[in-house]
Amino acid sequence: MEAALLGAILCCLALGYALGSIPFGLLLTRAAGLGDVRAIGSGNIGATNVLRTGNKGLAAATLILDVLKGTAATLLGAYLLPALVPASPITGALAAGIGAFLGHLFPVWLGFKGGKGVATYIGILAGIAWKAALGFCALWLIVAFVTRYSSLSALIAACGAPLLIWWLLGPIPAIVFAGLSALLIGMHHANIRRLLAGEEHKIGASNKAR
C-alpha cells in the first residue's frame, strides 16, 4: 500500500507540474503578435511582465489563468488521489499544488525559467483553503496601500499565508506552504535587493522596466 500511495502522490505531483508549467504569459503575448515576453522587463512569464507590453487585457488574462491553473491542479489532485488509493483528498491537493508551483517557476519547456509564482500561489491557496486565499489578498492589499510596493506586499502576504493555513488546516499543510513561500521569496531576490537599496518600482510610478 505504501508503494501504491507513493505512486499515486507522484501522479498528482506530475499532473500539477504539467498544469503549472503552461506558460500562459508567453503564449498569450505571442498569439497577440507582441513577440517573446521574456525579452522585456524582468524576463519572466508572469502577469507583471506581460503588463510591460502595454496590453492590460493580456496582463489580466495571464493573471487569471495563472491563478486558475493552480486551483485546477489542487482540485484535480484532491479528486485523483482518493480515486487511486485510500488517502485523504488534502494529500492529493497538496501534492498537485506543489507540482503546479514548481511547474510555474521551473517549466521544462522554457529551460526551467518561468515566473515568480504569486498568482499560481494564490490559486493553490484558493483550491486548498479559500479563506487563506482571501487572507493573502487582503494582506497584499493592505501592504500595497501603505507602501505602494507590489513585491513587498507579495513577500509579506507569503509569510502570513502559512500561519493562516496552520490555523485552518493544521501543521502539515502549513509546513508545505512554508516551503512554497520560501521558494516564492527566493524568486523575488532581485526585488529584495532593490527594496533594501530603495530602488524598487512603486505602484503607480512610471512603468520603467526592471
Cell matching residue 64: 487569471
| Cα–Cα nearest to 127, from 163, 171, 95 | 95
Render pLDDT for 62-86 as a digit per residue (tens, 0 to 9).
999 999 999 999 999 999 999 999 9
pLDDT score at 71: 98
> How far is it, in rounded angstroms, from Cα 138 to Cα 140?
5
Is 12 exposed, middle or buried (CB count within 10 Å of its CB: 0-12, 13-18, 19+)? buried
Instruction: In whole angstroms, give the CA distance from residue 30 to residue 196.
Output: 35
Quick: pLDDT tens for 10-68: 999 999 999 999 999 999 999 999 889 998 877 889 998 898 888 899 999 999 999 99
Beta strands in 30-147 (DSSP E): none
Q: How far apart are CA 38 and CA 24, in angstroms?
A: 12
Q: Break the chain into its structural domains and give their ranges.
A: 2-197
Mean pLDDT score, 166-190: 96
User: Cell triple for residue 206?
Assistant: 512610471
CA distance 190 to 181: 16
pTM for this predicted structure: 0.93
What does each C-alpha distance from 31 to 27, 47, 90 come to in angstroms?
6, 15, 36
